């Protein structure tokens, strides 16, 4: 009998396109281009293939937990204190992920189209909107995502096909220009996005039906495409050297869009794409954080506990010098995200194996 939840697996796939797609589409491109250059697309492809076996660990954890809340599943297995440590450490790191997304988005807003706007006001308004959505319920987040994602996808195809006229695919060659080392050393950047598929195990109790391996494979393929598109676009439109100098390659691609002789300067469409993507991603992550901290459904405590923490952490990151933030994000946090979520996957897998061993002894 299929489990009755509040959202379908299709909704989860659509959520992955926004929640993780924003990171793969925007955040990981600069370090990839800087360290791998024109061979960055090869890193993306190899990372996707390498992550396929990991998908089966997610399926195994999902089946072993019988689609229960991970916190409730772990409690009788590892005890109250270890489960509490798991919940609080994971919640803190996920909060950091939301904060980095918010800070990067606000820095982009400040450096592109609102340079004179008060920064505290921008953070306050956007934080209120995200916390408000996170304090509702998963169905509301899903409905908002479905509405905004439709236009995000339409605009994505629009910029991709419109810019075909300025793309030079010969710029992708020569392959392995600097050998294999840059390709291998940058695998962690796309992998840090792919591995966020683990996040959907935290809402499995709300999903109708069970996750199958091909559901995760579909999401991985979509994320792979969302990374390849703007990455190859940046290389073929600007060249690897110029693309590596750009802080927001996906945004810069909109600056080339023109229709005929008289229609251009359509980059304002990218504002919709980025802001809605950040809105859904941050709200979803904060929703998972509130669930881990047992605050879901208690709006007052969410506003009192998560709200101030999120606002002041975002403000502190936003106040950093740009070059420090870029180095912190590219050289440390993306790598830390991959390592943390990989260790979390191994921890949950071991917990599932312990259960199997215990069951055999009985």
Give the pLDDT confidence of 297-327 residue by residue, as tens digits: 888 999 999 999 999 998 888 888 888 888 8
Q: Is residue 174 part of a domain?
A: yes
Give the pLDDT confidence of 265-295 residue by residue, as tens digits: 888 888 899 999 999 999 999 999 999 999 9
Which residues form the domain of 32? Answer: 9-361
Half-sphere exposure of residue 360, counting CA atoms within 13 Å on the CB side? 6
Dist CA 134 CA 283 (whole Å)? 5
Q: Is residue 1 part of a domain?
A: no
Q: Is residue 4 part of a domain?
A: no
Dist CA 41 CA 113 (whole Å)? 30
Q: Is residue 253 part of a domain?
A: yes
Give the pLDDT confidence of 73-98 residue by residue, as tens digits: 998 888 899 999 999 999 999 999 99
pLDDT interval class at 15 (50, 70, 90): very high
Contacts of 27 (CB under 8 A, 6+ apart): 101, 104, 193, 329, 334
Mean pLDDT, all residues of the chain: 90
Q: Are 177 and 38 in contact (CB under 8 A)?
A: yes
Dist CA 180 CA 46 (whole Å)? 12
* CATH number of the domain within which 128 lies: 1.20.1740
DSSP output for 174-227: STTTT-SHHHHHTTHHHHHHHGGGGGGGGGGGGBSS---HHHHHHHHHHHHHHH
pLDDT above 90 covers a percentage of the chain that reads 66
Q: Is residue 3 part of a domain?
A: no
Angle of helix 40-50 versus helix 52-64 axis, rounded to 10: 40
pLDDT interval class at 355 (50, 70, 90): low
| Number of domains the chain contains | 1
């Amino acid at each position: 009998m299929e489990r009755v939840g509040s959202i379908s697996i299709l909704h989860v796939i659509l959520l992955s396109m926004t929640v993780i797609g924003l990171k793969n589409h925007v955040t990981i491109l600069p370090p990839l281009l800087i360290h791998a250059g024109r061979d960055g697309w090869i890193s993306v492809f190899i990372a996707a293939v390498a992550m396929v076996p990991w998908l089966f660990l997610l399926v195994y954890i999902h089946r072993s937990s019988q689609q229960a809340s991970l916190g409730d599943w772990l409690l009788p297995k590892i005890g109250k204190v270890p489960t509490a440590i798991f919940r609080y450490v994971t919640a803190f790191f996920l909060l950091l992920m939301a904060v980095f997304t918010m800070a990067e988005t606000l820095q982009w807003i400040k450096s592109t189209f609102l340079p004179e706007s008060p920064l505290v006001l921008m953070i306050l308004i956007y934080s209120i909107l995200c916390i408000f959505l996170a304090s509702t319920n998963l169905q509301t987040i899903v409905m908002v995502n479905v509405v905004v994602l439709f236009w995000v996808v339409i605009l994505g195809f629009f910029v991709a096909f419109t810019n075909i006229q300025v793309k030079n695919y010969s710029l992708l060659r020569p392959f392995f220009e600097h050998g294999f080392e840059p390709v291998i050393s940058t695998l962690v950047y796309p992998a840090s996005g792919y591995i966020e598929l683990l996040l959907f195990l935290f809402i499995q109790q709300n999903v109708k039906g069970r996750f199958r391996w091909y559901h995760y494979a579909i999401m991985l393929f979509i994320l792979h495409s969302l990374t390849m598109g703007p990455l190859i676009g940046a290389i073929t439109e600007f060249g690897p050297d110029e693309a590596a100098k750009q802080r927001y390659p996906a945004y810069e691609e909109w600056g080339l869009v023109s229709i005929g002789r008289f229609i251009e300067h359509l980059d304002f469409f990218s504002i919709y794409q980025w802001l809605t993507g950040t809105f859904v991603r941050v709200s979803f992550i904060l929703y998972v954080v509130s669930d881990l901290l047992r605050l879901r459904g208690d709006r007052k405590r969410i506003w009192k506990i998560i709200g101030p923490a999120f606002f002041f952490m975002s403000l502190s990151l936003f106040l950093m010098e740009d070059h420090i933030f870029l180095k912190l994000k590219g050289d440390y946090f993306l790598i830390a995200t991959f390592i943390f979520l990989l260790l979390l996957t191994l921890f949950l897998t071991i917990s599932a194996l312990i259960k199997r061993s215990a069951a055999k002894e009985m």
